[in-house]
Amino acid sequence: MEQIKRPAIFLDRDGVLIVERDFLMNTDDIEFYPETIKALAAIKNEYIKIVVSNQSGIARGYFTSEDVERVNSEISEMLGGKGIFIDAFLFCPHGPEDECACRKPRPGMILEAAKKLNIDLKKSWIIGDKSSDIEAGKASGIRTVLVKTGYGGSEPGASNANPDFTASDIGEAIEYINRSAF
């Protein structure tokens, strides 16, 4: 018997869940946006919650994969203390010039998660603050929300990605997703 596929909400980390800090590697610098906790708590139970993040600081030698895992673990622990659980943290360690399949705007991380976690992409979403997040979502066949926190779609080299919805922050993004039909 085939396992039932579930929808997911893919979340960019820096600029969506936490305040954007260039090349964050110190857990003391983690700062959630004021609406993050309430927004994550409001996500409907049927959604799998997955963080997908480009971490080119690894390829650039600014920090290691272990540093990224430590930051992700701290974020997970902080959220867990509030009763919020992220199902998976995925990150791309490559630089922009590496031409890998996992670095957003390519869909590799999303497609990998879909395969491993039996995700229904047609019913899934991505919330991001960069055009690369939106492009990765579109390349994966999922719906897209651009938030105006972090880079707000105005990062250097940004493309006109045309998200399905633009929200002021993660709170408004989750409200929109919760109101939307599959």
Number of structural domains, the chain? Answer: 1
Q: Is the full-model pTM beyond 0.85?
A: yes
97: domain CATH number? 3.40.50.1000
| Rg value, the chain, Cα | 15
What pLDDT score was predicted for residue 34? 97
Can 169 be counted among the known catalytic residues?
Answer: no
Residue 61 in this model has a pLDDT that exceeds 90: yes
> Of 12, 67, 129, 133, which residue is the catalytic one?
12
Can 87 be counted among the known catalytic residues?
Answer: no
Residue 2 domain-assigned (yes or no): no
Give me the domain span that covers residue 106. 8-179
> Of 14, 67, 129, 133, which residue is the catalytic one?
14
Six-digit token pair at 51? 């963080």
Distance in angstroms (rounded) separating the CA atoms of residues 55 and 75: 15
112 sits in the region (left: phi over 0; alpha: psi -120 to 50; else beta) called alpha
- Residue 53 or residue 25, greater confidence: 53
User: Binning pLDDT at 50, 70 and 90, where does residue 175 land?
Assistant: very high
Residue 1 domain-assigned (yes or no): no
Residue 65 domain-assigned (yes or no): yes
Residue 74 domain-assigned (yes or no): yes
**Alpha-helix runs per DSSP H in the chain:** 36-42, 65-80, 108-117, 131-140, 170-179
Distance in angstroms (rounded) separating the CA atoms of residues 42 and 180: 14
